[in-house]
Amino acid sequence: MYIVTSTVIVPPEKVDEVIGIYQKRSRRVDSAEGFHLFRLIQNTKKLNELTVHLEWQTKEAYLTWVRSAEFKEIHDMEKHYPDQELANIVPTVRQYEVVAE
């Protein structure tokens, strides 16, 4: 199992807007080969810290997705989001290999 997280700190007044964006996400990743799970999680102490949590069967499956035209298309749309304050937020991305269960 391979896990990728992408954490953003958003302005407090925009937290609900960002959550809404993810609740209405395109779900295109859901059909990617080797994709297992998507979750948007919120820090319980810092409510404006949101993390996208993705689970993949393998690192290779994740890398295939990242190199795909669909991935590029989705992330290009994010760069052109009308709210430039949100569009300019740079996430902290971390990658993990599950080593025990």
Residue 32: CATH number of its domain: 3.30.70.100
Mind listing the pLDDT tens digit for each residue in 45-95? 999 999 999 999 999 999 999 999 999 888 777 766 778 888 888 899 999
Number of structural domains (the chain) is 1
The parent domain of residue 64 ranges over 2-97
- Report the sign of the C-alpha dihedral through residues 76, 81, 84, 90, in that order: negative
Confidence band, pLDDT 50/70/90 cuts, at residue 8: very high
Following DSSP, what letter does each residue of 48-86 receive, concatenated?
A: TEEEEEEEES-HHHHHHHHTSHHHHHHHHHHHT-S-HHH
What was the pLDDT predicted at 79?
Answer: 66
* pTM for the whole structure: 0.89
| Residue whose C-alpha is closest to residue 11's, from 80, 74, 81, 87 | 87
Phi, psi of 33 (to 5 degrees): -60, 130
Q: How many CB atoms lie within 10 A of CB 54?
A: 19
